[in-house]
Amino acid sequence: MFDSLTSPLIKLTTEVGERIMSFYKSDMSVEIKSNQTPLTIADQTAHTLIVEGLKQLTPGVPILSEESDAIPFDERSKWQEYWLIDPLDGTRDFLEHTGEFCICIAYIKQHTPVFGMIYAPLDKIHYYASKDDVTFRLQNGVEKILKTTTTNDPLRVLVGHHSSHNERLKEHLKGQKNYELSQMGSALKFCRIAQGDYDYYPRFGPCSEWDTAAGVCILEGAGGQVLGEDGKPLRYNTKDDLISPIFFASGSID
């Protein structure tokens, strides 16, 4: 299924990325949502275009987006498979012009991501993987298989821009004897570990299921893993809220 969908999804996300970039350095009004995250016309436009595109590619498959109207769990719980998207992950970084924002598209089947694609519009890089297959990086028409590196010394740790003051993260890092700490926005953190630039991404702060699903698939396809505090893979659409649990993303599997 995903072999035939990859090319159209690359085309779709490239087109959506161009629309996102058309707003990048313009003055935009910003709405603050109930979860205190920003919403812009770029988010809303990307949402509309991606949803329309997915409906054409896979008619009848449910779609859950960060910008969707709330869908009750009573309805979602009946889904065996669905698309899970974040039309513009890293809106704060988009507004701050860091370049660290992306489009995230994942396909969930029986509570597990089985396909993930992340597109970085500024650098025009696609990352994608199907479950139990390899991860690819596509830039300028050149496709490359990604592979994580063995753990380095010092450990190269990557966290979000707004996570460095998290007390649980600070306590967790005290257990690391030797590490270098870097910061980055959005799900691109999973991609940078997948291509061997970093080793470890612990997440204690709040994030949602659409922030992680595509990245999980991409990192696992490159040889890494993402586990919760219970040591098990993350599961999706299993409860009323869509908050992801604390997790630990690693480039190497011990």
**CATH code assigned at 12:** 3.30.540.10
Strand ranges (E), the chain: 31-32, 38-39, 63-65, 81-89, 102-109, 112-120, 125-130, 135-139, 142-146, 155-159, 179-183, 200-203, 225-228, 247-250
Q: Which amino acid is at 73?
A: F
Same domain? For 137 and 24 the reply is yes
Same domain? For 55 and 96 the reply is yes
Average pLDDT over the chain reads 93
Count of CB atoms situated within 10 Å of the CB of 48: 15
Same domain? For 135 and 178 the reply is no
Between CA 81 and CA 64, with CA 215 as vertex, the angle to 5 degrees is: 35
Query: pLDDT-derived band of residue 212, with 50, 70 and 90 as boundaries?
Result: very high
Q: Give the alpha-carbon dihedral of 130, 131, 135, 137, to 10 degrees.
A: 30
Same domain? For 134 and 181 the reply is no
Residues 108, 184 contacting (CB under 8 angstroms): no
Q: Answer yes or no: is pLDDT of 40 > 90.
A: no
Residues 155, 178 contacting (CB under 8 angstroms): yes
Same domain? For 161 and 141 the reply is no
**CATH code assigned at 170:** 3.40.190.80
Last-in-domain residue among 114, 146, 178: 146
Helix residue ranges per DSSP H, 81-205: 91-96, 167-173, 188-194
Q: What local confidence, expressed as pLDDT, does residue 126 receive?
A: 98
Same domain? For 83 and 183 the reply is no
Query: pLDDT-derived band of residue 172, with 50, 70 and 90 as boundaries?
Result: very high
Same domain? For 30 and 86 the reply is yes
Query: pLDDT-derived band of residue 161, with 50, 70 and 90 as boundaries?
Result: confident
Same domain? For 172 and 224 the reply is yes
Q: Is 252 helix (H, G, I), strand (E, B) or coil?
A: coil
Same domain? For 6 and 113 the reply is yes
Same domain? For 168 and 126 the reply is no
Last-in-domain residue among 124, 146, 168: 146
pLDDT tens-place string over residues 95-142: 889 999 999 999 999 999 999 999 999 999 999 999 888 999 999 999
CA distances from 38 to 33, 60, 67, 120 (A): 6, 30, 11, 19
Last-in-domain residue among 146, 165, 199: 146
Same domain? For 134 and 231 the reply is no
Long-range contacts of 171-174, Cβ-Cβ distance < 8 Å, separation of 24 or more: 172/202, 172/204, 173/202
Count of CB atoms situated within 10 Å of the CB of 230: 8
Quick one: CA dihedral 69, 115, 5, 143, positive or negative? positive
Please tell me the total count of domains within the chain.
2
Same domain? For 40 and 161 the reply is no
Q: Is 61 helix (H, G, I), strand (E, B) or coil?
A: coil
- Domain with 173, as residue range(s), is 155-250
